[in-house]
């Protein structure tokens, strides 16, 4: 009986958690976005920033 309760509680948590994660689009936001990141970005002419290949001019 205790085992079943534990399993049910854990499962419902997982369902709720995954449901919330899916519903709110978790995992789709890129690391290199957001006002703070964008403000400090030095894009043209040098290396750094973004997720692409490291550019060497």
Partner 1 sequence: MTGTVKSIDCTNCGAGLDVLGGGRVVVKVCSYCGAALDASDAYRVIEVYDKVKRPPSPFSLGQTGTIDGVEFTIIGTISKSERDGGDFWNWVDHMLYSPTHGYGWLTVEDGHLLFTRKVRDWPLGGFVTSHRVEMSEVPPSSTWRGQRYKYFATSEWRTDFVEGEFNWRPKRGARGTTVTMMPGGAASNMLAFVQGPEEREVEVTRYCPEAAEAFGIAPPQRIGTHPLQPFEAMEGSWFYKAFFGGMAGLAAVLALVSLLVQPAPVTLYDGPGNAVPEVMTFDVDRVDRPVTLNFRHAISNAWSELGITVIAPDGTPVADTFRSVSFYSGRDSEGTWTEGSRSTALGFRPPQTGTFQVQIEVEGESRGARREPLRVMAQTGRTNPVWAALAALGFGLAFVWVATQRFRHRLLRWHGSDWSED
Positions in the binding site for partner 1 (CB under 8 A): 3-4, 7-8, 11, 14-15, 17-19, 21-30, 32-35, 37-39, 41, 43-44, 49-53, 55
Supply the minimum distance, in Å, between the C-beta of residue 9 and partner 1: 12
Burial of 3 (0-12, 13-18, 19+ CB in 10 A): exposed
Picking from 24, 3, 21, the residue whose alpha carbon sits closest to that of residue 13 is 21
Supply the minimum distance, in Å, between the C-beta of residue 23 and partner 1: 6
Supply the minimum distance, in Å, between the C-beta of residue 10 and partner 1: 11
């Amino acid at each position: 009986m205790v085992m079943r309760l534990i399993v049910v509680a854990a499962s419902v948590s997982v369902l709720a958690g995954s449901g919330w994660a899916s519903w709110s689009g978790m995992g789709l936001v890129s690391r290199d976005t957001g006002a703070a990141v964008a403000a400090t970005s030095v894009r043209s002419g040098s290396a750094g920033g973004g997720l692409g290949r490291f550019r060497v001019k």
